[in-house]
Amino acid sequence: MNRKSLLIWLLMLGLMFVTFTWMGNREKSAAGPKAVTISELIGMVEADQVKEVLISGKERGGKEIAAVTKKDEALKSFALDTDDLRKALNAHKVKYAEREAPDSGGSVWLAVLLNFLPIILIVFFVLWMMNRAQGGGGASRVIGGHTATKAKLYQTSDTTFNDVAGIDEAVEEVRDLVGFLSNPKAFNRLGGRIPRGVLLVGPSGTGKTLLGRAVAGEAKVPFFYGSASEVVEMFVGTGAARVRDLFEKAKKQAPCIIFIDELDAVGRKRGGTSFGGGHDEREQTLNQILTEMDGFSPNTGVIILAATNRPDVLDQALTRPGRFDRQVVVPAPDVKGREAILKVHARGLKLAPDVDFSIIARGTAGMTGADLEQILNEAALHASKTGKEAVDMSDVSFAVDKVTMGPERKSMVLTAKQKRDTAYHEAGHTIVGWLTAGCDPVHKVTIVPRGRALGVTMSLPVEDKHCLGQPELVALIKMLFGGRCAEDLILGYGTTGA
Ligand code: ADP
């Protein structure tokens, strides 16, 4: 059972519990006021035992009377004619109010509905359980249209390889797919087997989907996008049915590309200790993907691209020849790659002459294409917010800080002493970093609080580092200690900031 169906279970049970409790309370409160006849009530009014009275009902017809005694006992009564009661109330100066009763027609229906609510709920619950039980047996059941694929069809995406930067090797790997998709006959002629499935492996945001779209765009073929985690939904069997639906739609549009995002959501190694036994939803969906891939006659013209950031957990059946037999690594870009990606996304921006992409690229080690796109977007927003004509380096630098360290905490109130202490601490890092051989050059120092930090000293590596040597690590430790030493020297004590 997946998390969603567990949630539905709990929700149903909760709803039934609430209804029963509420019905119970209704009965109790209905039994609350003591019923008395109208003459009894008048007698009590005349004996000065009644505190207040509410008369409700239509102009003509019976009136319901609610009363509270001086001992705070609730009473109810009913009368066709309330003139005598009113006279008694006026004579004994008892507070009373009259109101026209709400239209009882609606409330009758409501009452009937409420009385039947638990039964309706139980019937729904039983039907739902039966549905689940049957759905487990056949993957092909269609349950109320839930099986229609949610894949979005992009009739010829207009993305091209020009929009993809910094992952040149990956682009080279998929380039021949374009040739195959746009002219399958040329490939068939020599009897070559076109890869059916290509697995794009890399962290999220590195451009795997973008790459898929670019292949579709270059080959001018439709692009079907489906996310594996979306496919696995609350009803057992729908995942598999959706996969079938997706492949059916795609085959009609061949040549085309099917892109399955987050393949690891369904493609994990089977036979593990999955909650719900070995026959769960995920496994059925995976089996359906495998069946569909095997069912293609070679060279139908459908190429399946799948993305994952966990190739290690994928079931071996997926990576077998004839399925996802080609793996393309889409890594986080290096410094050159980041510069190229920034240039791609800066195309639509108005930039001031001081913007230097190589510096931004150096300061954004480890970031993916999606992060860089976000930085430029934040920079543009910041520039327009401050009423500038063009995006300049200070906007970009603001955006990098925001994306890497979180937004400025303008509301945080710091005393002059706290600011001074932070300044000394950061100055310690800066001086040691500046003067120690092996440290990356210091790029920026700030005592504007962001995220959890009161201040930051940022140094920029000249190039990406894939492996640090011992001398560099020692230099780094020295620089980190610089803050603490400054506190000792100037303040005479350390702080928790260090
Ligand atoms: P993934 O599928 O790997 O999670 P996406 O392809 O969805 O990543 O990337 C999200 C967005 O980030 C893209 O739409 C694109 O704008 C930007 N992006 C990511 N990588 C690159 C890249 N190599 N070149 C240009 N833009 C990129």
Q: Please write the tens of the pLDDT for every residue from 438-473.
A: 888 888 888 888 877 888 888 877 777 778 899 999
**What are the start-end ranges of the H helices in 390-495?**
393-405, 416-435, 470-486
Ligand 1: nearest atom to the Cα of 204: 4
Instruction: Give me the residue label for tokens 């000065």.
Output: 48
* Pairwise CA distance, residues 376 & 398, whole Å: 10
- Mean pLDDT for 109-127 is 82
With a 6 A CB cut-off, is 209 part of the ligand 1 pocket?
Answer: yes
Residue 101: predicted pLDDT: 63
Q: Check: CB of residue 475 under 8 Å from CB of residue 436.
A: yes
CA 160, 162, 163 angle in degrees (round to 5)?
75
- pLDDT value of position 105: 52
| Of residues 262 and 236, more confidently modeled | 262
Please report, rounded to a whole number, the percentage of residues in the chain having pLDDT higher than 90: 16
Q: How confident is the model at residue 107 (pLDDT cuts 50, 70, 90)?
A: low
378 is catalytic: no
What DSSP letter does each residue of 89-128 carry, written as one string? HHHTT-EEEEEPPPPHHHHHHHHHHHHHHHHHHHHHHHHH
- Is residue 139 within 8 A of residue 284, CB to CB? The reply is yes
Handedness of CA 73, 77, 81, 84 (dihedral sign): negative
Q: What is the pLDDT of residues 355-378, one digit of tens each?
A: 889 888 888 888 899 999 999 999
Q: Evaluate: CB of 167 within 6 angstroms of ligand 1.
A: yes
Residue closest by Cα to atom 27 of ligand 1: 369
Ligand 1 centroid–CA 208 distance in Å is 7
What is the Å distance from ligand 1's center to 245 Cα?
27
Residue 26 vs residue 41, higher pLDDT:
41
Strands 34-35 vs 152-154: parallel, antiparallel or unpaired: unpaired
Residues 323-356: tens digit of each pLDDT: 887 889 998 898 899 999 999 999 888 888 988 8
Q: What pLDDT sits at residue 142?
A: 39
Lowest average pLDDT, out of 102-111, 147-156, 461-470, goes to: 147-156
Which protein residue has the closest C-alpha to ligand 1 atom 1? 205
> Which of 447, 458, 406 lies closest to 425 in space, CA to CA?
447
Enter the pTM of the model: 0.62
Question: Ligand 1: distance of its center to the CA of 58 in Å?
Answer: 69
Instruction: Assess whether the C-beta atom of 332 lies below 6 angstroms from ligand 1.
Output: no
Q: How far is CA 312 from the centre of its chain?
A: 25
Query: Which one is catalytic: 426, 463, 472, 487?
Result: 426
Judge if the beta carbon of residue 204 lies within 6 A of ligand 1.
Answer: yes
Report whether 396 contacts 360 (CB < 8 A). Answer: yes
3-state secondary structure of 445: strand
- DSSP for 37-89, please give it: -HHHHHHHHHTT-EEEEEEEE-SSS-EEEEEEETT--EEEEEES--HHHHHHH
Order of strands across the sheet that contains 95-99: 34-35, 74-79, 63-69, 50-57, 95-99
Distance 407 CA to ligand 1 centre (A): 23
CA 259-262-264 angle, to 5 degrees, is 120
| 370 CA closest ligand 1 atom index | 12
- Nearest-atom number in ligand 1 for the CA of 166 is 23
Question: Which has the closest alpha carbon to 440: 416, 464, 411?
Answer: 464
User: Does 307 sit in the ligand 1 pocket, CB within 6 Å?
Assistant: yes
Residue 205 Cα to ligand 1 middle (Å): 5
User: Is the Cβ atom of 164 under 6 angstroms away from ligand 1?
Assistant: yes
Using the predicted structure, report yes or no on whether residue 411 has a pLDDT greater than 50. yes
Does residue 166's CB lie within 6 angstroms of at least one atom of ligand 1? Answer: yes
DSSP state of 312: G
Query: Does residue 206 have its Cβ closer than 6 Å to ligand 1?
Result: yes
Q: Which atom of ligand 1 is nearest to the CA of 203?
A: 3
Residue of the CA atom closest to atom 14 of ligand 1: 210
Given pLDDT bands bounded at 50, 70 and 90, which one contains residue 136?
very low
Mean pLDDT of the chain: 81
Strands 302-308 and 152-154: unpaired
Distance from the alpha carbon of residue 415 to the mean position of ligand 1, in angstroms? 43
The verdict on the CB of residue 370 being under 6 Å from ligand 1 is yes
Q: Which has the minimum average pLDDT: 110-124, 186-200, 232-246? A: 232-246
For ligand 1, the distance from its centroid to the CA atom of residue 373, given in whole angstroms, is 8
The pLDDT of residue 147 = 53
